[in-house]
Structure 1
């Protein structure tokens, strides 16, 4: 797998997803501020990858700190965490990762004779562990969801929920990869996913690397293909899943879910457990990131719209749980009623 991000002795190295598919270039972040910028500008994107990126940013900030004592480090650590938390508001993995790094920092700092260098080493270890855990979770949820895919036929996906959105293998594309590995004969229809074109640029690039047949669709073509019977299932990722099963994902996902329901096509959501937000009761409480108008008004540096026209550019929408056939996680496949199934799986993990 081409690494989406990786910890190096020089800093955190990111595959620049804004340059794909035509240029395979990398960005090296040598400070936590640069990691924050990489997340904000979508050099790295996808909820799981954002979470691990933030964890590495926290570790990098502490490693590069000039604090001589833990007392000096603690306020700086809070600034590091707050800066990274302010990058993108919708992906709950971001806040999950930072909370986990805060917990590790607290435990390390409480140890007698602990030094700033020792804390940094512990945080680097934690961030690298989260990286490995993410790949393992994607492989497991992929295997869990593979049996839900048709033995043959078309599968529609929206945005990019592949290796590029994670530390490797992917969520929605992980399900597709696992199904293909098990012998399913799938053809992936990738929504282009305006305005950032993650489907056209990233999903198509990934799947072509894997030799999986792929066709890119304009976002308004899905209904027609569903009516023609070319789509047998839909599988997407998620940036946050509320306690009632409502799903926040890339803008346009809601419309795809409604179309799938109308045409009797199963609509699956694949995400690691770190994307589940049981503290948020329902989708109306999920913050939706509003991005810059220039992403809509311009493409490849060329203006497409009239001067001064109004622009709406939410990065995500919320799909109500009633449209979700199943939620695929590394802990298992959940079905409605989601408040019960999510709660049961969380309680089982706590008891284990």
Structure 2
């Protein structure tokens, strides 16, 4: 069997799909040497009559089944983060329902879960008190659900704040009232252009100092920080300056193997969107790392970087399209549809390359099904083998 895939110039090339998927991993307990969250996507309901701009329709059964898939490998689930299309198809009402349902499911199966806290119920310009109140509403919901809060970067705060002082005030206010330690999330503008100048400065060195000042003022309320700047050197430098007991969760989908491995002065844990499609392989790699075998860890995880860099190539915020494609090809959902119609956000050559790379890694439990589904997609675009 073979499949003809379009390249970036539109030329067709022949790909020979592999026939041997990765061996099925037995269910396992939590990973030992690193705390690892996979930021999970949502499954749209393709039969819902939803027009552009209307609230998203979610297939709750398939969405929760995918979270059980992640927990089965010992991974934590990072819920209602940007991977779930917060602000890109999923509004606050949908995110709130997602948090409630996923947190209840986590409690039922004993899975670890952390949920995003933002301000996306604010749809227009807002004052700083309104930003604080929006954060408080979401923080209360996440804490009531029993999940760990992740304080996400806020578009509304980026618009309302005039300098570092406002960030220090808002985050200090939230950390003082948080019931327990939270994860602070610094999402770079490559993931969301509306977050340019976050922490009060376009200068990343200056922004880092403000970020560290927030943490230093409340180290007992910060479990860790998630850094999504796609800059391994900057993350390593920040990691070395964190107070004792505050973890660094890498959000660097370009350089995660080296950051998770670490060096003589420490390592990063992980909270990664790319671990949504890579869950079986990522879990296998970290279990090898749990034994102290850093070489074996890198041998398993380094080959996945090419796929990750492809999925997250600019414009990076559209990486979710490739993630959902791979979930469909792997059999975790029965369609390639996304909330907000985001399945159209990447080109056919981009999707074809994602399939090819994932197939090369053995990520599809049923390679023949993945090939057949990819051929269906190609045919919809008028490409027939």
The TM-score, its normalising length taken from structure 2, stands at 0.28
Higher strand proportion: 1
The TM-score, its normalising length taken from structure 1, stands at 0.29
- Larger relative contact order (CA 8 Å, sep ≥ 6): 2
